[in-house]
A and B are shown apart, each in its own frame.
Chain A
Amino acid sequence: DVKVTQSSRYLVKRTGEKVFLECVQDMDHENMFWYRQDPGLGLRLIYFSYDVKMKEKGDIPEGYSVSREKKERFSLILESASTNQTSMYLCASSSSGRADNEQFFGPGTRLTVL
């Protein structure tokens, strides 16, 4: 059974803290994605990685960075958390080369920044 796991289901942090969200996939996928989900705004792409150490900005990268040191792991970093980063964060992965390769999502991390 294919699986994308995220390190935490719920996270509460203080303004200004550095926050790490971890994502691991067991499908040997080349592509990995970080989205944030907000009511009325849908899923918005933060960053995308198509290979180890390779990354590409999505639609809303400001305030975020990413790291992909191993193929199976993709980390989202909030360098200095702010209250407007309170959201649901979803990680996904897919195999490479074609747009119709299904994206497999993790269960999400609900981050609250106080």
Chain B
Amino acid sequence: QQQVKQSPQSLIVQKGGISIINCAYENTAFDYFPWYQQFPGKGPALLIAIRPDVSEKKEGRFTISFNKSAKQFSLHIMDSQPGDSATYFCAASRFSNTGKLIFGQGTTLQVKP
């Protein structure tokens, strides 16, 4: 079963705009939520991650917002740039786990100049 649901599947944003990607999870035991970024021809790479003891984490133009009661988290990309065009995956895991992640379906972001 799909334990992490990601939307939208694709997103087109103008340069300078805000990109927002949403994820919802089912398992309340999840307590680690990373986002991975994948450029064409490359493997995914860790972008930013959050644990549920905080509601927001910001790194540069990238922010994760976390809503524990709604079991949702989202990635916001401020001042989106053409270089941000990539596929983004949210994921979830139990912190005490062996390192296995459950990934969302992915969002392909295109930032138009």
Which residues of A are at the interface with B, using a C-beta cutoff of 8 A? 4, 31, 33, 35, 37, 39-45, 48, 50, 56, 58, 90, 92, 94-108
Known A-B contacts A43-B89, A90-B44; the reply to A103 vs B99 at CB < 8 A is yes
Contact of A105 among B44, B102, B104 (CB under 8 A): B44
Asked whether A106 and B98 contact (CB < 8 A) given A42-B103, A42-B104, the answer is no
Chain A residues lying within 8 Å of B36, measured Cβ to Cβ, are: 103
- Interchain CB contact under 8 A, B94 and A99: yes
- B69 in the interface (beta carbon within 8 A): no
Query: Which residues of the other chain, B, contact A50 by a CB distance below 8 angstroms?
Result: 98-99
Contact B45 A99 (CB under 8 A): no
Show 7 residue pairs from A and B whose CB-CB distance is below 8 angstroms, ordered by the A residue.
Answer: A40-B105, A43-B44, A43-B106, A90-B44, A100-B95, A103-B46, A108-B43
Given A42-B106, A99-B94, A100-B49: 16 more A-B contacts, CB < 8 Å: A31-B98, A33-B100, A42-B6, A42-B104, A42-B105, A43-B106, A45-B100, A45-B101, A95-B99, A98-B95, A99-B95, A100-B93, A103-B99, A104-B45, A105-B43, A105-B44
